[in-house]
Structure 1
């Protein structure tokens, strides 16, 4: 534990503070979400962001090699001996003019932040390295999470690396097999609940409370600290310049919440001169945030969020027995736990929220694949959303845009194969049958 960080309730009417040596994921005083805050006067933060890049020269040091912990002064909540790392954050920011043409962005202005290169194949490793570091700091011996797939894979991998038992809660038939295979292979206990992700999320919180397990969903504020570093690496990839727009998938809203906090802190530290705008993209079959923000006019309001709007909305979901459904399983969530923190990000980043159809997601995914990166469906929601925002005229053709691709193609291979084999997608590329005859095969290749 360090003296430079503490936990603070996001409710302005409460504002209770707790040291980082405690394991809690809701304020015990009022039940609201917690933030990790820092006493920046006690931290020797480099004077400019480019100083962090110099650590690549010493990447034989495990913390300098990590794309998360090389920025450790910006998430200074534990001592180095507690930091857990398996080489996360070795990701790329790729300028992609082919995808730019599809969305009508000027060549050289669209960049794709590809988080599929992380050890478990998704962005979750950025958060789990931080959360498990805190778990190690507080002496946790067992952990749990609810998951649509990616969190379970990452948690199981990190749990094995630091000797912590782990239990995964998944919804019945609501997880991609590519992701489930990882959790099982890495040794996690997997419990399948007869329900969806939201049901699993409720159960895992109760189990963690009753059994003293360390909760690893993005309700955990330490996880979001690690996810901030995705934005640091985007800035690094742009020569330490801030883009005009960040486009990110919605889902449980951990990433969008972390990203807004990252930019706010960088601005307060004087490390950036401006904050980019942000677009958060949901699927139409799981569009809680879109509906609440655009139709119900739910807003941050300096932390005094109208809880009545949320309660009424969720009550209606219950009355209708609503369950989210989308091909993008990673964002198939109707009760996002980080909703209020995401509202703060929308306020910080002058953000906008949109929803895209499964058809738009799968077409965008195929375009991304044709131009050199394989991603899971939720990642492609960013490109589908960007295309629509260009058509709306909300994002200029010459603006610099960074889209976050959150997971690898192999996370959900069934969606890819079905899209191409069914020949229903605009960009399907089905296999062609041929007789076992050389001349006939050569005709096909011609």
Structure 2
């Protein structure tokens, strides 16, 4: 393994770890895979499905050879993350208009979001370097995941949270795990800039997506989908985009799988952003190669409320390598899609539902053919944002198309028969 700058291609040995190159570019981790045998890896990965109470019971560390082979097991910090459900749904096939859909419910992770896949690797790496103090800036899911793993590692966590447009549920979860939560006036991007400048002085190990080990862990999501589907992926992978770490990670994972010969065909990637926080989609739609940050992003899907995504250059590489597309959807479209995902029995937070909303739009625009197949990544649990549930189903001003309010009745047979 080595670090390679995505901007200037400078190579750095792993023991000289840093988050950014001297040129300002982010580092990528590059593996030497020339001695890896695909058939042997398939056997090993399948055998580990029966593991219990070892690091390899994790849906991340099951793929250790492709994620962090050099890490001594003593530093692995795991809650057996991953191993999340992959579901098909006739209801959502009808809603989106596509022939076959799967939903990868990362909401089933221990802290309730996909962040656990990357955080287990980041915190484990930080421990191997001797760190006890971990940090992140977050709109919610990253902070709760970090707080959980830092507590598990008997370390401490320090979380910077914007003082508006976040989900209080996620902040409460972060507090419950014991993190020191610092609310500040500004945006997610302001928090990133602060600790990029001062993390070394404060002796803090950064666990945001500028950390390449976060990306390595998140790759496991696409590995797991591939393994569940017997190493044959759908035509499309649909991913919500905030900081853009997920599209970066899954793109890397797809590249690994194809390089090793574990899959025959690379699916196309569709990256979905909320209309009120869509700087990457606007850049792609305009055919530009430079992102223009949005200084005041806003979307009801708080996990997507990022105006200057740090991983945009890596995400652009994923779209180029997969002949991918981008799309933006309104908050109304997101919340309606969320209602349908919830009613399918799977459930998700608003940001997750952007994938289903985006799939609807792309099928309607005939960018995705109705006879193709797709997997949508659901990133967070439906209880991560109960305010959104309340506003949609019980709020007086709700305009939701699938509102499901509470019914009132006397406990009389005729009244109940009428309601049934």
**TM-score (ref. length: structure 2):** 0.95
Q: How much does 1:444 deviate? A: 4.8
Rounded Cα–Cα distance in structure 2 between residues aligned with 1:44 and 1:84: 27
Per the alignment, residue 59 of structure 2 pairs with: 67
The corresponding residue for 1:306 is: none
> Residue 213 of structure 1 is aligned with which of 199, 204, 208?
204
Structure 2 vs 1, CA of residues 433 and 279 (structure 1 numbering), >3 Å: closer, same or farther? same
2:354 to 364, 377, 381: 381
> Contact 1:23–1:138 at 8 Å: present in 2 too?
no
- SS of match in other structure, 1:41: coil
Counterpart selection for 2:363 from 390, 394, 397: 390
Residue 173 of structure 1: SS of its match in structure 2? coil
| Local SS of the residue matching 1:397 | coil
Aligned 1:41-60 pairs, distance under 5 A? 41=34, 46-47=39-40, 49=42, 51-57=44-50, 59-60=51-52
Q: Residue 19 in 1 paired to residue 33 in 2?
A: no
How far the C-alpha of 1:404 sits from its partner, in A, is: 0.3
Structure 1 counterpart SS, 2:157: strand
Q: Which residue of 1 aligns with 2:87?
A: 94
Residue pairs, 1:169-208, within 5 angstroms? 169-208=160-199
- Farther off after superposition, 78-87 or 383-392: 78-87
- In 1, Cα distance between the equivalents of 2:415 and 2:170? 36
For residues 268-298 of structure 1, give each alpha carbon's deviation from its aligned partner in whole angstroms, at most 9, with x where no partner exists. 1222222110000000000100111111x13
Q: State the alpha-carbon separation in 2 of the partners of residues 142 and 174 from structure 1.
A: 27
Which residue pairs with 1:298 in the alignment? Answer: 288
- SS at structure 2 position matched to 1:263: helix
Contact 2:38–2:262 (CA<8 Å) still a contact in 1? no
Deviation of 1:335 (Å): 0.1
Aligned to 1:334: 307
Select between 413-422 and 263-272 the one with higher mean Cα deviation. Answer: 263-272
Contact kept, 8 Å, 1:83 with 1:129, in 2: the verdict is: yes
Partners of 1:267 and 1:443 in 2: CA distance: 57
Counterpart contact for 1:23–1:214, Cα < 8 Å: no
Q: Give the Cα separation in 2 of the matches to 1:351 and 1:24.
A: 30
Q: Where do 5+ consecutive residues of structure 1 fail to align?
A: 300-308
Alignment match, 1:117: 108
**Contact 2:231–2:262 (8 Å) recurs in 1:** no
Structure 1 equivalent of residue 4 of structure 2: 8
How far apart are the structure 1 equivalents of 2:175 and 2:198? 20
Task: Note the residue ranges of structure 2 that are not aligned, 5 or more in a row.
Answer: none
SS in 2 for 1:85: coil
Return the alpha-carbon distance in structure 1 between the equivalents of residues 39 and 97 of structure 2.
38
Question: Superposed, which structure 2 residues align to 1:240-251 within 5 Å?
Answer: 240-251=231-242
Q: Distance in 2 between matches of 1:389 and 1:415?
A: 25
- Hey, what does 1:415 align to over in structure 2? 388
- The alignment status of 1:223 with 2:214, answered yes or no, reads yes
Q: Secondary structure at the match of 1:285?
A: helix
Tell me the distance in 1 between the aligned counterparts of 2:150 and 2:276.
Answer: 32
When the two structures are superposed, what TM-score results if normalisation uses the length of structure 1? 0.90
Kept after mapping to 2: 8 A contact 1:6/1:37: yes
Distance in structure 2 (CA, Å) of the matches to 1:177 and 1:87: 26
TM-superposed deviation, 1:129: 0.5
More displaced, 48-57 or 118-127?
48-57
In 1: Cα distance, 2:9 partner to 2:347 partner: 43
Superposed CA offset, 1:7-59 (max 9, x none): 11112xx32222223441101x31211011112235566545364122112x1
Structure 1 equivalent of residue 138 of structure 2: 147
The secondary structure found in structure 2 opposite 1:252 is coil
SS in 1 for 2:34: helix
Which shows bigger deviation, 237-246 or 326-335? 237-246
Q: What is the CA-CA distance between 1:329 and the residue it aligns to?
A: 0.4
1:103 to 90, 96, 102: 96
Tell me, yes or no, if structure 1 residue 237 matches structure 2 residue 228.
Answer: yes
